Amino acid sequence: MQKSYCICLVILLTAAFIPAAHAEDSSFENLAKTPPMGWNSWNKFACNVSEDLIRSTADAMVATGMKEAGYEYIVIDDCWQVSRDEQGNIVPDPKRFPSGMKALADYVHSKGLKFGLYSDAGTATCQKRPGSKGFEEKDARQYAAWGVDYLKYDWCNTEGQDAREAYVKMSRALRTAGRPIVFSICEWGTSQPWLWAPGVGHLWRTTGDIQDCWDCSQPWGGMGLIHIIDLQTDLHPYAGPGHWNDPDMLEVGNGKMTAAEYRAHFSFWSLLAAPLMAGNDLRNMTQETKDILTNKEVIAVDQDPLGMQGRKVADGGATEVWMKPLSGAARAVILFNRGNVASPITVLWEQIGLAPGAEAQVRDLWAGKDLGRLKGRFTAKVAPHDVVMIRIQP
Ligand code: GAL
């Protein structure tokens, strides 16, 4: 009697808890099977955010073909929030967001897009707005009620806090908030989040803030494109479907790099299976910027279902070769010239795991041109601060 009562209880408890936990986990796990794509306000607009900006950006996302190319999330970064009310609820800036966040999320959703917000694990955000420390569950429930689909969660003003614990706390709050929310961890790579963040969030920043420059660096930790690329070299084993290294948002179109440099930027983000969060003004894009951000063949490299991050396979100092394995035994390859003079760069089939004598179809992804079936190697002359990006199909 006693024993069968026990067994029954165990079965009942198992039935009650395991499926629920599993169902909750599997929906969270499935939110970013490929790297998230969207737009974030910070790189171009900093604190100058408003509902007009977000509505017109959502309109532009559709009108420019960005949505059609796969961009989905519209994320408001820092500065949308001003205070907490007496019950501790977070209060959006009433001057900049007079219609409130629910109405704004509804508008973004009405365009077939998704809506994202930003908060911080500490007492205050980097721009000194209220942080979520001590309000994790309240904030998560509020975001879900507004219709938020994506949360970027920063790491300013967190003295004495443990990064893993703080992010796990918000991850749990989001999972039980009643709405699927992509969780973007932004602690700048300080505690090596690639070692603990898979399963906690869907993406994690790997570096300090990107700057709109080739190789500058700021005393506070901001850095140009090639410094960010160099810091990704050893991180490829940690990315995969549902969990991505995030080398920060795009600067393409923000004006301080050349078209070649922006092409290199976008090629690398795709080869690295990085989240593609545009950071420019979508309402005023040159054709050149639009052509880079919406190149479907380059985006397909980023979004390849295998979900493998690319890696460096040859290093000649000023010239490098990087390779990303794609589904169907294909490879994406970047011939990268980081130097100041045009140089021929070669990829050998054996550097990318193909037999030296094999024939493979080669396609130039920026020229949109088939280059034929080639045996053993491919060489191209690459302009300074530029790339040639190819897809190789054995
Ligand atoms: C930084 C973060 C940036 C941006 C900024 C807002 O910590 O890395 O991407 O969110 O805060 O204040």
Euclidean distance between CA atoms 226 and 261, whole angstroms: 10
Residues 83 and 222 grouped into a single domain? yes
Q: Which of 40, 42, 80 to mutate to test the pocket of ligand 1 (most atoms within 8 A of CB)?
A: 42
254's tokens? 């923000």
- Sequential pLDDT tens for the chain (394 residues): 344 454 444 444 443 444 344 444 448 989 999 999 999 999 999 999 999 999 999 999 999 999 999 999 999 999 999 999 999 999 999 999 999 999 999 999 999 999 999 999 999 999 999 999 999 999 999 999 999 999 999 999 999 999 999 999 999 999 999 999 999 999 999 999 999 999 999 999 999 999 999 999 999 999 999 999 999 999 999 999 999 999 999 999 999 999 999 999 999 999 999 999 999 999 999 999 999 999 999 999 999 999 999 999 999 999 999 999 999 999 999 999 999 999 999 999 999 999 999 999 999 999 999 999 999 999 999 999 999 999 999 9
Picking from 277, 302, 327, the residue at the C-terminal end of a domain is 302
pLDDT for position 7: 46
pLDDT for position 221: 95
CA dihedral 140, 145, 147, 151 (to 10 degrees): -10
Euclidean distance between CA atoms 124 and 118, whole angstroms: 12
Whole-number Å distance, alpha carbon 186 to ligand 1 midpoint, is 8
pLDDT for position 11: 41
| Burial bucket for residue 232 (CB in 10 Å: 0-12, 13-18, 19+) | buried
Residues 122 and 90 grouped into a single domain? yes
Nearest to 292 by CA among 71, 114, 57, 75: 71
Residue nearest to atom 3 of ligand 1 (CA): 209
Picking from 276, 302, 328, the residue at the C-terminal end of a domain is 302
Please tell me what DSSP assigns to residue 373.
Answer: E
Residues 105 and 241 grouped into a single domain? yes
Residues 317 and 245 grouped into a single domain? no
Residues 275 and 319 grouped into a single domain? no
Residues 287 and 323 grouped into a single domain? no
Residues 281 and 323 grouped into a single domain? no
Residues 46 and 190 grouped into a single domain? yes
Q: Which of 39, 118, 154, 210 to mutate to test the pocket of ligand 1 (most atoms within 8 A of CB)?
A: 154
How do strand 331-337 and strand 386-393 relate by DSSP bridges? Answer: antiparallel
Question: From the alpha carbon of 118, which atom of ligand 1 is closest?
Answer: 10
Picking from 250, 270, 302, the residue at the C-terminal end of a domain is 302
Euclidean distance between CA atoms 230 and 313, whole angstroms: 13
Helix, strand, coil tally for the chain in percent (to 5):
35, 25, 40
Q: CB within 8 A of 215, min separation 6: which ones?
A: 224, 225, 226, 227
How do strand 37-40 and strand 150-154 relate by DSSP bridges? Answer: unpaired
Whole-number Å distance, alpha carbon 188 to ligand 1 midpoint, is 9
Residues 226 and 289 grouped into a single domain? yes
Pocket of ligand 1 (CB under 6 A): 42, 77-78, 125-127, 154, 156, 186, 209
Q: The domain containing residue 337 runs over which residues?
A: 311-393
Q: How many structural domains is the chain composed of? A: 2
Q: Is 154 annotated as catalytic?
A: yes
What CATH number is given to the structural domain containing 334? 2.60.40.1180
Residues 247 and 335 grouped into a single domain? no
The one catalytic residue among 77, 149, 209, 304:
209
pLDDT for position 22: 41
Q: For the stretch 186-202, what's the b/e string if a residue is b when 16 or more beta carbons lie within 10 angstroms of its beta carbon? A: bbbbebebbebbbebbb
Residues 250 and 342 grouped into a single domain? no
pLDDT for position 27: 83
Residues 284 and 144 grouped into a single domain? yes
Q: Is 386 annotated as catalytic?
A: no
Question: From the alpha carbon of 126, which atom of ligand 1 is closest?
Answer: 12
The one catalytic residue among 139, 154, 212, 304:
154
Dmax (CA) of the chain? 85
pLDDT for position 37: 99
